[in-house]
Amino acid sequence: MEIAATPEEQQQGLMYRESMPEKEGMIFIFPQMSVHNFWMKNTLIPLDMIWIDDQMTVVRILTAQPCEADPCEIYKPGALAKYVVELNE
């Protein structure tokens, strides 16, 4: 599991990856609880997205589809979260 802890790492995320082993991914660690929206711009593989709060409770799970050109769908958790995990399906 890769870690995206800095704003630069979080902005890059898993963009431009053409493949990834099953059950591998990236965890985004944010400094505070917030509504962390994600989009899949320049992400080439579908990813399961899991939003987790500061009590380690899962607040939302969904599958996000690749998007190579605008407009890309914005994926919203609908709840406060501190972590987001992106996993290869």
Phi and psi, residue 12, nearest 5°: -75, -45
| Domain-embedded: residue 12 | yes
Rounded-to-integer distance, Cα 9 and Cα 31, Å: 14
* DSSP code for 66: P
Query: H helices then E strands: how many in the chain?
Result: 1, 7
Domain that holds residue 44: 2-81
Residue pair 79/60 in contact by the 8 Å Cβ criterion: yes
Kindly state whether residue 88 falls inside one of the protein's structural domains: no
Q: Report if residue 86 sits inside a domain.
A: no
- Residue 10, pLDDT above cutoff 90: yes
- Res 14 pLDDT > 80: yes
Q: pLDDT at position 49, please?
A: 97
Overall number of domains in the chain: 1
Residue 89 lies in a domain: no
Amino acid 81: pLDDT? 98
**Residue 11 located in a structural domain:** yes
User: pLDDT tens across 43-82, in order?
Assistant: 999 999 999 999 999 999 999 999 988 899 999 999 999 9
The answer to whether residue 47 sits within a structural domain is yes
Within 13 Å and on the Cβ side, how many CA atoms surround 74? 5
Residue among 73, 75, 59, 66 nearest 15 (CA): 66
> What is the band of 32 on the pLDDT scale with cuts at 50, 70, 90?
very high
**Does any domain span residue 35?**
yes
